[in-house]
Each structure stands twice: as structure tokens, then as C-alpha cells.
Amino acid sequence: MHREFLMGNEAIALGAIAAGVNLITGYPGTPSTEVLETVAKNRQENQYVEWSVNEKAAMEVAAGAAYCGARVMVTMKQVGLNVASDPLMSLEYIGVKGGMVILVADDPGPISSQTEQDTRRFSAFSKLPCFDPSSAQEAYEMVQEAFAYSEEYGTPVFFRPTTRVCHGYASILVKDVEEYSLHKAEGFVKDSKRWVIFPRLSYQNHRKIEERNERLSEVFSEYERNRIYPEEGENAGTRKGIATGGISFTYAMEARDSLGAVRLFKVTTPHPFPEKRALEFLEGLDEVLCLEELDPVIERELTYLCGKYHLPVKIYGKLSHHVRNAGENTRDSVAEDIRKFLGEPDNDSARHMGIEQEREAPCGTADKGQSAALAGEAELPAPPALPVRPPVLCAGCPHRASFYAVKKAMKGKKTIFCGDIGCYTLGNAMPMDMVDTCLCMGAGLGIAQGVGRIEPDTSCFAFVGDSTFFASAITGVVNAVYNQARMTLVVLDNSTTAMTGHQPHPGTGQTMMGEVVSKINIEAVLRGIGVQVVETVNPLDHEAAVECVKRVESEPGAKAIIFKSPCIAVVKASNALKASEDRCIGCKKCVRELGCPALVIKDGKVRIDDSLCTGCTLCSQICPTGAIGGGKNE
């Protein structure tokens, strides 16, 4: 160990390097910017750093790397978190394998931002644990602990310094290079039940997250940084306490030196709130003053606990108008707030603000009559089990042909297929099994890039629909081109927004008002962004599609294939095909490899259900005996 005079952001960066961070992405924003810059300057071998095109792309690239077991960090400021919230909210439901620290620097004041939003609230909203450092030294040490918690609980975690922690300087103890941890990523292990977000998985994982956060509340109650400083000396019998966190804790400790040692509770993990430790703190107190910047997070938690446990403790803070409810705290403002609290508690004001409310009858008593009525009802017989109908791509869906072409072209190679949100997410079902990850709209691009950074020997594909391309995938393409990622984008262009009911989009040439407008050409957009290799092919021409994938994938850098064929719901179907009973040898290749619902087996041979078949001809192209024919080519 040795001492260095460092800015808080530099301390966080060195802490992340010491923890063996493998990849760090971010988008610049005061007061967070120097964290990524410092990692870039001091990075060790195999540590990848990029400024991403925005916070969403940064989050997705980092998520892909974390899926591989890499330790990753994403940096942004609080308003940037709004941009990243789409992948973030889903990522909590998916979880991570490698430790993932999301550094969001808050800006009370605000000094250089549009809003005073509080990431601790976003933490509760998104259900992610949050670490709130109070000094540069603590930030250095705590960021290393945050990686460990993230890995142990399989969740991204927030690390939320505020401006004065980020930009304050201090002489701090840091590790020598020889003491750094080396973290090696295990690699991506395919498991679509884990990495593809389907509604059923979300429901199951939501339950697990709630249980985990209850457990974490207990774990954090034992975390030594959530600490109670006992009252001492002349304040020993005052029955008053101060609850605080972040930089306000540091200010409060300074005030304590001159104003006396009142009992103090330092909240380092505002979410999940360390409930048991908080109850220890509240024990025997009459009044508590909450000192925190931005939102009254600690104040609300303590008020809630007093209600939950019927504790006769008055909680003062922003909600009770005892301290300012906006702007930055300072050393002087905190000292002044404490002085007033210890000298002249304004009980009238507290009563006026509704702190002393009469307690209602215990919850639940009003429902008793209703429960009895329900109990008297005859029990209904259990309904019969419904037949299982797994979701499946439609018969003749061009996406089936696209997935199949990529699968054939990449057979035997190490690949990852990053899916996206749309009906093509169903490409994850057997027999296609072509969606290894799915997070949120447009995320496949970033995830493919993240996996590629950790596993350069993997061929990384990102699939996206035409509507999703316009909605939120374009930034991911810009990110790939700018940061020189090696990946293949596959645009599944079926000329509509199929999953939600065939709404028009910028590539369809009409608006919702029925106006005919210029179509925005996806190939031209990709070329305009700088993608050098872009090919458009009809996926229903199987041989040409496979050749195209092989050719394009072997090119360096970011390249794209546009599989263009309209959705079966927007064009008139051709005549259904027919399978010849004489020529079919019952090998089931067509059923096994395509899974088209129009193909059925009868007496060991294939039949085609002409009420479903659209005449796409894909099955006839792969049948080894030429048993399938007819349709419009007949």
C-alpha cells in the first residue's frame, strides 16, 4: 500500500483497476467523467475501455461482457441514467455473471445538470443495490467491495458518488500494482433460459429479486460501513440522533467535533435499506434529524420503520421542512442544521407537518368481515389443465429462413446469437435455438460487442427487426463502427412492425395518418453510418442466403446483412406446397430443422397442412429427395 493525493473519481478508477475490472464503458457527464479517463490512462493488460455512443449502448456493451463473467463498470451522470434505463431495468431481471458496477454520479445543486434527480430513488425503482460513498478513501475501498457483492448476488449494483466526493481531493491509501486482483472471465455459456427475457422468466426472477433484496437488507445491516456512532460526553442522554449518508456524513462528523457526539447513523447502502441496523439506531431515541442531499430517502425509510414497528420517534428532515428540500449541503449548512436540532427542536412545526399522527387501528382489521364472507363460499373445482401451446414462428415466416441460413452458414463455429425484442425473439425456440440473449429494444448490438471484447474468437451476431432498427438499434451500429467492434448485424426486414399489429415505421413509406412518404432505406442508413460491407438478400432463397452469411461474416469489423422478405401477414400467400408420399423417405429433416407448424407427420411420412402453408418453399429447398413441390412453381 502507498499514499496518493487523488481526486475522488481517480480513487474510484484505481479502486476498479485494483478489483481487476476487465471492461469499462461510459458516456461523459460531469461529475462522472474522470473515472473512465483515469482507467484509460492506468489500464492494465486486457482491460478494455471505450466511450460509447450513449449511456444505453455503454450499458449494453458492459452487460454482454458481464454475461461472459467479466468484471465491468459503466459510468455516467444522473441524467445519463435516464438514457440507460431501458437496458438497466431489464438487466436487473436477467442478472449478471461477472461483477457489474454502474457508476452514476449525482449532481446536487445542481452544478452542471438539468435535474437534481437522485440515483438512490432510481435504485429502489429498479431494485438494484446501491452503494453511497462519503469520501475518496471510502470510494476507493467500497468500489472493490461493490464488485464482490455484485458477483455474489448476481446483480448489477449502483455506485453513487455525488459531486463533492467525485471532485474532492484527498491523500488516500491505495494498493501497489502487485496487490491488484486479476479477474479472468469464464466466457459466455449458452443458456437461453437464463439470458433471454421472456414474460414467464421475468415473473420468476421478479420474485427472486424481492427475496434477495430482503436478504440483502439483513446482510447490509451487518455491513460495517452502515455504522452507528454512539452518543458520548455531554450528549449522552439527549435521546436525539442524526441519520445521514454520502458527503453529508463527512460534514456531520466534522460538526460533531464542535457540537458534541450525538448518536449518528451512517447509511452507506440506501437500498436495500439496512433495516435491522436502523432499528438498533432508533432504539431509545425520541427525535432523529435526517441530513442528506437530493431526495428524502433516509427520512422516508426511517419514517416507514417507525410506522411499521410503532416506534415513538419523531423523524425530521426535508419532508418535515426542518432542512432544505433542494440544493447541495455544505459543511456549514449541515453544522447549522445540527445546531438547531440540538438546541431548539421545532416540535410545533413537526406536528404541523403531520409527524405526530394518531395511530390507526392495526392494518387488516377492516378486512375481517370480507375475509369471513370469502371463507364461507363453496370451493370451486380446479379447472382442467390447459394444453401446452408453446409460442412459435408462423408457418412461412421469413425469419425462420433467416435464422436457418445463419445457422447453416455458421455450423461448427464458435458463435453467439444476440436477439432482440420482436416476434423474432421466438427464434430461440427449438429447433431453431438461435437466440442466446435478449434484453431490450436494440440491445443485441451492444451485447454482441460486449461478448466480442471478452471473447475475440467468438463470431458475434446481433439480430434486429426493421422497426426496432429505427427505434433504438442505430446508436448501437454507430457504437460498433466508431469503436471498431467485430460483429455481424442481421436486419430481419419484413416491412412492418409485426409483433404489435403491423404498424407503419420509417421504412414502410407511410405514416399513421395514411400519408405516403419517402421510405428510409436501411441499407443506405448503414452505409451512411460507415458500415463498409452491407448485403441485402432474400432469406427464402436458401442457398444464396447461406453464401451471403459466409461471405459477410468473414469480413473484418462491423458488417451487416439485410434479410428482406415481407411478413406473411402483409402479402398474399402462394399456393400451399404438397409432399409426395412416394418420394418422402420419412427422414424428418424438414420437421427437425425447420419446425414449420404446417409440416406434420402422418404414418411416418410428412404431410403439409394446406390451411397453414404459405408456399414459402423453404422446406422444398432442403428436402434431400425432392419430395416437396407444388405451390406457385408447380
- 327 forms part of the interface with ligand SF4 (CB under 6 A): no
Cα–Cα distance measured from residue 115 to residue 122, given in angstroms and rounded to the nearest whole number:
14
Cα–Cα distance measured from residue 531 to residue 533, given in angstroms and rounded to the nearest whole number:
6
- Does residue 456 have a cis bond before it (omega within 30 degrees)? no
Size of the site for ligand SF4 (CB under 6 A): 28
Comparing C-alpha atoms, which of 434, 432, 460, 428 is closest to residue 447? Answer: 460
- 432 forms part of the interface with ligand SF4 (CB under 6 A): no
Cα–Cα distance measured from residue 105 to residue 116, given in angstroms and rounded to the nearest whole number:
11
- 526 forms part of the interface with ligand SF4 (CB under 6 A): no
- 613 forms part of the interface with ligand SF4 (CB under 6 A): yes
Q: Identify the residue among 625, 632, 633, 634 touching ligand SF4 (CB under 6 A).
A: 625
Comparing C-alpha atoms, which of 490, 499, 507, 470 is closest to residue 397? Answer: 499
Q: Cα torsion at 295, 77, 72, 471 (round to 10°)?
A: 110
Q: 288 or 393: whose CB is closer to ligand SF4?
A: 393
- 607 forms part of the interface with ligand SF4 (CB under 6 A): no
Decide: helix, strand or coil at residue 264: strand
**Contact pattern for ligand SF4 over residues 379 through 418, marking x by CB under 6 A:** ----------------xx----------------------
CB 489 within 8 A of CB 558: yes
- 276 forms part of the interface with ligand SF4 (CB under 6 A): no
Q: Cβ of residue 192: shortest distance to ligand SF4, in angstroms? A: 23
Q: 566 or 586: whose CB is closer to ligand SF4?
A: 586
> Among 55-63, 375-383, 448-456, 578-586, which window interacts with ligand SF4 (CB under 6 A)?
578-586
- 19 forms part of the interface with ligand SF4 (CB under 6 A): no
Q: Cβ of residue 617: shortest distance to ligand SF4, in angstroms? A: 5
Q: Cβ of residue 149: shortest distance to ligand SF4, in angstroms? A: 49
CB 341 within 8 A of CB 323: no
What is the phi/psi pair of residue 81, to 5°? -60, -30
Q: Cβ of residue 139: shortest distance to ligand SF4, in angstroms? A: 58
For 205-237, the DSSP string reads HHHHHHHHHHHHHHHHHH-TTSEEEPP-GGGTT
Q: Identify the residue among 189, 366, 544, 587 touching ligand SF4 (CB under 6 A).
A: 587
**Residue 472 DSSP one-character state:** I
- 599 forms part of the interface with ligand SF4 (CB under 6 A): yes
Q: Cβ of residue 561: shortest distance to ligand SF4, in angstroms? A: 21
- 615 forms part of the interface with ligand SF4 (CB under 6 A): yes
C-beta neighbour count of 392 within 10 angstroms? 15
Provide the angle, in degrees to the nearest 10, between the axes of the packed helices 474-482 and 55-67: 70
Q: Cβ of residue 198: shortest distance to ligand SF4, in angstroms? A: 24
- 355 forms part of the interface with ligand SF4 (CB under 6 A): no
CB 440 within 8 A of CB 466: no
Grid cell 453529508 — which residue?
248
- 627 forms part of the interface with ligand SF4 (CB under 6 A): yes
Element (H, E) at 51: strand 48-51
Q: 288 or 596: whose CB is closer to ligand SF4?
A: 596
Q: Cβ of residue 624: shortest distance to ligand SF4, in angstroms? A: 6
Q: Cβ of residue 609: shortest distance to ligand SF4, in angstroms? A: 8
Contacts of 592 (CB under 8 A, 6+ apart): 431
Q: 311 or 585: whose CB is closer to ligand SF4?
A: 585
- 594 forms part of the interface with ligand SF4 (CB under 6 A): yes
Taking each continuous run of H as one helix and of E as one strand, the counts in the chain are 23, 22
- 623 forms part of the interface with ligand SF4 (CB under 6 A): yes
Q: Identify the residue among 156, 315, 618, 630 touching ligand SF4 (CB under 6 A).
A: 618
Binding-site ranges for ligand SF4 (CB under 6 A): 395-396, 577, 579, 584-590, 594, 596, 598-599, 606, 608, 613-619, 623, 625, 627-628
